[in-house]
Structure 1
Amino acid sequence: MGLTGILLAAGKSTRLGRDKLSVVMPDGRALAAWSLEAALGSTLERVICVVKPEDTLSWMPREWLSSASYAYQSEAKLLISICDDYAMGMAHSLHCGLQTAKQYEPDGYMIMLADQPLIETSQINEIKTIFQTHKQSDYVAATDCAGGKPPVAFRSHLLGQLLSLSGDEGARRIMHNPQFTGTYVPFSAPSFWDADTEEELERIVRHIEYDHSSRDTHPLK
């Protein structure tokens, strides 16, 4: 029951040219650790982190890795799902996460991206709260006023639709389907910034450094 998060962390980092998950951020942690911490700190019942087989998980803080499960465990907060066919496209990584998540029979699945380090725990919680209160909505998605974007939570009856995605096809196909209704939650533009290129990565780092310097009493999270 409840809402299960699926953090997609099995990308190829083709455009960046190096492993984006392990890029060291201004606070000394890896980029993907920011995204994972936001998810684990939320009220999601559990988080499925989808990774590729060759990922050493060196980007993941040791305390999280030591408590993670690789198989069904009813009390586990963090599960690692290894996706052998990640190179076939993002949809296949999503399928791996869904296959792991559905064992828990959740009310829904929240899709998140590991390369969006500026997503915050409070935003994930907001999506979950609206998902719980707007029961007429088939999905609840974040938005920058240009359509729905991750984090996006889909109700369990859309599992078949999600599993029908293929290649690099994202969940936008479902959100664009007039058969389904959604609720959109506005987030600030930086929340959606990803690290696909060096320029985009530099923009994220500058934003973090500026935010840190402008908040004297708040250390980097």
Structure 2
Amino acid sequence: MRLTGILLAAGKSTRLGRDKLTVAMPDGRALAAWSLQAALDSELEQVICVVKPEDSLEWLPENVLQATVNSSNYRNETKVQIAVSTEYSSGMAASLQCGLKEAKEYGAEGVMILLADQPLIRAQDINQVSAALVLNKQSDYAAAVDGEGRKPPVAFRSHMFDHLLALVGDEGARKIMRNDAFSGTQVNLPDFCFWDADTEAELKRIMDYVNESAQMK
């Protein structure tokens, strides 16, 4: 199955009070670059980064930035496409649909929704979700799960695209995952995979984890 990743990077960073995407991680890379790199290292065929019109894109690795700026299609060496969500302020649904329309144009057989502010997600985690969807052929989607329920990364088959396009406002994929009319497969992932950088306290937890992990190596 040809899965295209949709990396949602058009949030407002309201709770953090500053642009979370460009926050420098301990290795010097931007926080969102960690999420993107995991997607690029995974088995996803393409990755669509959904951004705001005013995004400077400075969080992108230099090679990715140059390749996407100089390419008008998906066939560049980084397998990244930038999609600008002009309606991002209306809610998450608009950004998701912006990326989905690009994926449909490309001819994706399915999409995986990823969040740019979850830097601890790994390529192996993304691959687990992808494999679960491929293996469970009767499932409409495959979603990561922790103690709080199903969450991104979540992969949907192409017949679910119209349902995703029908979402409005701040409705995300969770609305579909909570609908018993659809069949989903769950993939258990470590808690840290879901940590996001919505607040300074949450950002500190991420940084502390990265530093502690580096010391243990």
The bucket for the TM-score relative to the shorter chain is over 0.9
What is residue 11 of structure 1 aligned with on the other side? 11
User: Alignment partner of 2:25: what SS?
Assistant: coil
Give the alignment partner of residue 175 of structure 1, picking from 174, 177, 201: 177
Identity %: 57
Match of 2:167 in 1: 165
Q: Are 2:39 and 1:39 equivalent residues in the alignment?
A: yes
Alignment of 1:109-148 (within 5 A): 109-148=111-150
Could you tell me how far apart the structure 2 residues matched to 1:75 and 1:213 are? 36
CA contact (8 A) 2:21 2:30 kept: yes
Supply the distance in 2 between the matched residues of 1:3 and 1:131 (Cα, whole angstroms).
Answer: 10
Q: CA RMSD in A?
A: 1.3
The C-alpha deviation readout for 1:14-38, integer Å capped at 9, x for no partner, is 0000000000011111000000000
Task: Tell me if structure 2 keeps the 8 A contact 1:6–1:47.
Answer: yes
If the length of structure 1 is used for normalisation, what is the TM-score?
Answer: 0.94
Question: 2:192 is aligned with what amino acid?
Answer: P
Deviations 1:8-58 (A, max 9, x none): 000000000000000001111100000000001111010000000111111
Q: Distance in 2 between matches of 1:21 and 1:162?
A: 25
Q: TM-score, normalised by structure 2?
A: 0.96
Could you list the runs of 5+ residues in structure 2 that have no partner in the other structure? none
CA drift of 1:71 comes to 4.0
DSSP-derived class of the 1:36 partner? helix
Alpha-carbon distance, 1:169 to partner: 0.9
CA distance in 1 between partners of 2:31 and 2:188 (Å): 23
Deviation of residue 159 (structure 1)? 0.5
**102, 105, 109: which one pairs with 2:104?**
102
Superposition deviation, residue 199 in structure 1 = 0.4
Distance 1:198 1:57 in 2: 22
Q: Which amino acid aligns with 1:162?
A: L
Report the AA paired with residue 101 of structure 1. A
Aligned equivalents of 1:128 and 1:67: distance in 2? 26
Provide the residue aligned with 2:192 in structure 1: 190
Encode CA deviations 1:68-95: one digit per residue, 9 max, x unaligned.
2664435661000011111111110001
Which amino acid counterpart does residue 56 of structure 2 have in structure 1?
T
> Is the Cα contact below 8 Å between 1:48 and 1:79 reproduced in 2?
yes
Query: What stretches of structure 1 move > 6 A for 4+ residues in a row?
Result: none
Structure 2 CA distance for aligned equivalents of residues 128 and 161 of structure 1: 20
Number of the residue aligned with 1:73: 74
Q: Which amino acid aligns with 2:12?
A: K
Name the CA distance, whole Å, in 1 between partners of 2:75 and 2:98: 18
Task: Return the offset for 1:145.
Answer: 3.1
Count of paired positions: 215
What are structure 1's unaligned runs of at least 5 residues?
A: 216-221
